[in-house]
Structure 1
Amino acid sequence: MAPTKSRKLAKPERRAQLIETAKEILRECGADALTLGHLAERAGVSKPIAYEHFGTREGLLIALSQEIEDRHTTKLQAALTGAPKELDAVADIISSVYIDCAVDSGEEWQAISGALRGNADMIATQQQQADDYVAAIQAALGPFAKIPADDLRLRCTGIAGAAEAIGRELIRGRTNETAASANLAALIVDSVDV
């Protein structure tokens, strides 16, 4: 795809445009091809603009990871709003949103994570993202739990790990969306309904 001359955008709009362009590069060419120079060229902006927004290639990859996580969180919160007050329904929502997000961006997320393996900033970002996700599902499942909050947090940590593992199985083609979602929902119910 040829770069296009980019018009003047406000900083938030420019950042959003750069993120979308970076996702295109990631999907089409892989993480190794995603550099700030390539991003700037493809987006039709100067290199200093790309550097101003992300600082480094690692900063760009972390921003992409955060954008994926923010999208997932927004979808989960929206789906849980007005959800039936039943454990099975909440478990189905948590699992279906997770699996939908794995389908939408799982390969991108794995490429980003792989490219930043061992990067201290990425490790900190991923830990914060995991903590936020655990807190969100703990809040959603709390009304159904008959166990102490610390135990529920640990079980939600396990659910988050299981969700990630099931998402990887789906991305690798070892299961389908229906089975992935149903089994994750079953794990959620079994973890909370004791």
Structure 2
Amino acid sequence: MAGPISSDAKPRRRLSRQDRHEQLVRVAWRLVREEGTEALSLGRLAELADVAKPVVYDHFGTRAGLLAVLYREFDARQTALMDAALLDSEPTLASKALVIASSYVDCVLLQGREIAGVIAALAGSPELEGIKRDYRTSFIEKCRRVLAPFSGKAGIPAAGLWAMLGAADAVSEAAAMGDISAGQARDELYETILALIARSQRRTG
């Protein structure tokens, strides 16, 4: 039986549907952080949030639905963080590359180790794997647009962008696990982006 973790034990009050949804998502993230993704179930979430099970089922439907919501929230946070930083950045390759590297790593670190568990759980469902792939494709296209002004005439190869994303995932996870520092993760990803653009400038077709 799972050990107790802190709960939102407060006098009950009727929340709006949106407020209740946000509360359940917060509790779900804490559950993943403190007990692991394996412990995440709608029943356990209802227990920790101090609500009836039908309330949780009404919001998420299934465990897969809950996982999808958590991943989409992470996606939205990462996108907002990067978009805001890109707007404030200088129109130089160094500035844009630094924003991409820092935003990606920082968002993973902000969410902590729990996002790795959610991402791993997504692989168990074709539907959820599709959600993850859609986000990754969108991220790659955004990077292509941001970096296009600095690339060679032939553009940035798709394989290079996917390799960049793989590096981003690897160094961010390593930083979240404490295997490398956040600064090392950002620096390595930054250098990877610069190398990608340098290679594109040497392409002839």
TM-score between both structures, scaled by the size of structure 1: 0.92
Q: Give the Å deviation of 1:30.
A: 1.1
Deviations 1:13-67 (A, max 9, x none): 2211110010111111111221111111211221111101111111111211111
Q: Does 1:60 align with 2:60?
A: no
8 A Cα contact 2:122 2:132, kept in partner: no
What's the secondary structure of 2:33's corresponding residue? helix
8 A Cα contact 2:104 2:168, kept in partner: yes
Q: Which amino acid aligns with 2:83?
A: Q
Aligned equivalent of 1:12, options 18, 26, 33: 18
Q: Give the Å deviation of 1:7.
A: 2.1
Residue 97 of structure 1: aligned partner: 103
Deviations 1:97-132 (A, max 9, x none): 111112112411111122333211111011011011
Residue 78 of structure 1: aligned partner: 84
Residue 168 of structure 1: aligned partner: 173
Of 162-171 and 108-117, deviating more is: 108-117
8 A Cα contact 1:72 1:101, kept in partner: yes
Deviations 1:126-172 (A, max 9, x none): 101101111221121112112434x4444222211110011122223
Query: Unpaired runs of 5+ in structure 1?
Result: none
Q: How many pairs were matched up?
A: 193
Of 7-16 and 63-72, deviating more is: 7-16
What's the secondary structure of 1:28's corresponding residue? helix
Residue 191 of structure 2: aligned partner: 186
What's the secondary structure of 1:81's corresponding residue? helix
Residue 41 of structure 1: aligned partner: 47
Bigger Rg over Cα: 2
8 A Cα contact 2:113 2:177, kept in partner: no
What's the secondary structure of 2:120's corresponding residue? helix
Structure 1 residues 147 and 50, CA gap change in structure 2 (3 angstroms): farther
Structure 1 residues 132 and 108, CA gap change in structure 2 (3 angstroms): same
Q: Which amino acid aligns with 1:191?
A: L
CA distance in 1, matches of 2:162, 2:174: 19
Aligned equivalent of 2:144, options 138, 141, 147: 138
CA distance in 1, matches of 2:148, 2:28: 38
Of 78-87 and 3-12, deviating more is: 3-12
TM-score between both structures, scaled by the size of structure 2: 0.87
CA distance in 1, matches of 2:10, 2:47: 9
8 A Cα contact 1:135 1:153, kept in partner: no
Query: Unpaired runs of 5+ in structure 2?
Result: 1-5
Structure 1 residues 175 and 110, CA gap change in structure 2 (3 angstroms): same
CA distance in 2, matches of 1:155, 1:105: 27
8 A Cα contact 1:91 1:189, kept in partner: yes
